[in-house]
Amino acid sequence: CHKVGVKHGDIKSNNVKFNQHTGNYILLDFGLAVMSDEQRRSSLRHAGAVEFMAPEQHDGEMMFQSDIYSFGIILYELLAGTVPFPLINKSETSRNMVMLSHIEKPLPDLLELRKAHLPSGWSEDKKVQELLIPAWLLQIISKCLEKSPENRFANGMELHEAICNHHQIFFSNEEAAGIINELRNENERLNNDLIQAKNTGKVKIITIIGIVLIAGMVTFGVNSAFDKNSDIKKDSVGVVDKNSNSVKDTVNGKTRADAAKKNVLPIDSPKKSNSKKVKKTKDGLVNDVPEF
């Protein structure tokens, strides 16, 4: 409608319908577009959907940028599950509170609201995935919902161009400079954290090396003491073996000497014969016994 110079003035989620036959979304209810300024002011004040109204509309103004603000509220509602400033009831006080919030209060954090409205039965992994909203979409919503009309997209055509070319940055020079400074500060903070983590890692490594060295020294000392005890035992066994050999030699020597003494006879001692002398008689008898 902006292409033909028509301002809607009452864009809200209930006025956007889906055509099942064509697959397109259709914007309905152009009633405010054909009203006079006075009629429009009265209608907005008493019957308008204040949750979707731009701040300037509360003063009776209606601009192309007002439609951009209302469209931004729809995008916000789609992602957060609620409008930024809900209407509690239809009382005049409640409507005035919502109007004042659009004028003065900052928008609630969209991602926090989205997180709060996710189904409790979902797994944590699925919840994390659902919070990964593209940055370019958040930027477009933020620009649509600027308090001042001149800071928003000028009209629907410019908004359409931004969505089609979302890879391009559409911040002003001041906004870009602020973002760059924030990124630099964040980068510096991350570098400091990295240096601190590295230093902490070095201390841990040195501590581990010290523990390993101490354990090695203790192990070496125990092994050395064990080896010395083994050598002492071996030396003791060797001495005992030598002494036992000497004793054996002494005993064997005495035994052999005694045996030699028993077997050696004196040279001058005649050898006694165990055979008896045979006495023969003249008649050839041996001991008076005839010999045959």
pLDDT tens column, 178-231: 777 887 887 788 778 778 777 776 656 666 666 666 666 556 554 555 455 555
Whether residue 76 contacts residue 107, with contact meaning beta carbons closer than 8 Å, is answered with yes
* pTM beyond 0.85, yes or no: no
Q: What is the largest CA-CA distance in the chain?
A: 198
Positive or negative, the CA dihedral 283, 288, 290, 291 is negative
| Whether residue 267 has pLDDT greater than 50 | no
| Whether residue 157 has pLDDT greater than 90 | yes
| Whether residue 244 has pLDDT greater than 80 | no
Domains and CATH numbers, the chain: 2-170 (1.10.510.10)
d(CA 121, CA 129): 15
Q: Which two tokens stand for residue 55?
A: 């701040």
Q: Measured between alpha carbons, how far is residue 3 from residues 8, 59, 64, 222 in Å?
A: 12, 25, 11, 92
Going by pLDDT thresholds of 50, 70 and 90, the confidence category of residue 43 is low
d(CA 112, CA 144): 19
